[in-house]
Amino acid sequence: MTGFSFRLAKASLAALAAFSPAAAMAQDGFAAPGQIGLQTSVTPIMDSITVFHDNLLMWIITAITLFVLALLIWVIVRYNHRANPTPSKTTHNTLVEIVWTVVPILILIVIAIPSFGVLADQETIPDGERGYLGANIFSSGEVAVPAPELTIKATGYQWYWGYEYMDDGVNFASIMLNDEERASEKPDEPRLLAVDQELVVPVDTTVRVLVTAGDVIHAFAVPSFGIKVDAVPGRNNETWFYARETGMYYGQCSELCGKDHAFMPIAVRVVTQEQYDAWIAQAGEGDLAGANALLAQAE
């Protein structure tokens, strides 16, 4: 396939995905049935992951796939019994062995070097004094991200999440709704992702997340934010995000943690600063139901 043909095919797939229902549902912060590609990015971290995936990894894995396919076809045609009735007695080929050892190493190096920058983006908490994404060679330049204004502690339990707003005295458990509860309380939210109490954060705000666990190892992951960090008992791991769009964004525990591992989702509601201020003031008084009612009225 020529370079032009491949770019045309890629553009065609992108166009089809853009007009598909799956692509439209991807804006809701969860994977849609039949969706092709990563979830829609709403943070600088996920931006760097998406660019790294689309601009490097996809080209490399496509080239490898086509090369292996060509080799298989060549071997099938050239070395079948009809075309080659007398099989070769070759035991080894030094050049081939060197090539298939060195080339994969070089490919892995090409992938590894920029991946360190992407990882550093997630691991480096913005300090407000410098731009962000400077380590990622695939970024379009530094992005101004302020220092964290909100710190939340997320604790994984078997099998739900506990959240604590470190500076505001608000804490609660977030538990998945079963089918009956979801149908009666939140019918518009996705099955196995809807929870009784979402994590509420303001838009355009750097949020530091301290992640730990109360029993076994869990993992806190929200694909649209590009974050995934282990929750380890007795240890505080740290990540951050800066959501630039309001809406509901979902994740799940991403470390096998027991029989109900698949039933401890993460739901993050990103709201305007005014809505958040009203919510946190009410929640800080111990009235979560009233705080949530304020958000419902504002929608």
Summary mean pLDDT of the chain: 85
Taking the domain 150-298, which CATH number applies?
Answer: 2.60.40.420
- Using CA atoms, how far residue 259 sits from 157, 252, 263, in Å, is 12, 14, 9
Domain ranges (residues) in the chain: 38-123, 150-298
Looking at residue 34, what is its pLDDT?
84
Give the right CATH number for 38-123 from 3.40.50.2000, 1.10.287.90, 1.25.40.20, 3.40.50.300: 1.10.287.90
Question: Residue 283: pLDDT above 50?
Answer: yes
Band (138; pLDDT cuts 50, 70, 90): low
Looking at residue 127, what is its pLDDT?
79
Cβ contacts of 216 within 8 Å, gap of 6 or more: 158, 233, 257, 258
Question: Residue 66: pLDDT above 90?
Answer: yes
Looking at residue 130, what is its pLDDT?
57
Looking at residue 246, what is its pLDDT?
94
Question: Residue 225: pLDDT above 70?
Answer: yes
Q: Whose CA is closest to 195, among 176, 167, 214, 180?
A: 176
Please give the full DSSP string across 66-126, using - where no structure is assigned. HHHHHHHHHHHHHSSTTT-SS-------HHHHHHHHHHHHHHHHHHHHHHHHHHHHHHS--
- Each residue's pLDDT tens digit, 152-203: 999 999 999 999 999 998 999 999 999 999 999 999 999 999 999 999 999 9
Q: Is 33 or 210 the better-scoring residue by pLDDT?
A: 210
Looking at residue 149, what is its pLDDT?
92
- Each residue's pLDDT tens digit, 237-249: 999 999 999 999 9
